[in-house]
Amino acid sequence: MPNQLDAAAFPDMHKLFAERFASKTRDEWADIFAGTDACVTPVLTWTEAAQNEHLRARSTLVQANGVDQAAPAPRFSRTPAPAVGAPPQAATLFDEICW
């Protein structure tokens, strides 16, 4: 393994890490790190996130007009966030950003 502080070695380290991560699937890596104190978690698809037990227990996602959305953050005990509305339609966003 190259010296992690040697900027000239960064391309070699990038290659080593890319090869190692590509050697297993996301779920295989999750199984390897399950039950450890390593700060590792898989990147979920939106559908997987909406069904994830931890995210559901924390109310990380909310539904607005039948559409799953990220809940407002941060959450304060004495100052509740306003209700989340439906996401804007793409055409209205294009108008706002002058497309």
Residue spans per domain, the chain: 1-39, 44-70
CA distance 24 to 98: 43
Has this prediction a pTM greater than 0.75? Answer: no
**Burial of residue 80 (number of CB atoms within 10 Å: 0-12, 13-18, 19+):** exposed
Pairwise CA distance, residues 44 & 55, whole Å: 11
* 35-69: pLDDT as tens digits: 999 999 999 998 999 999 999 999 898 888 888 88
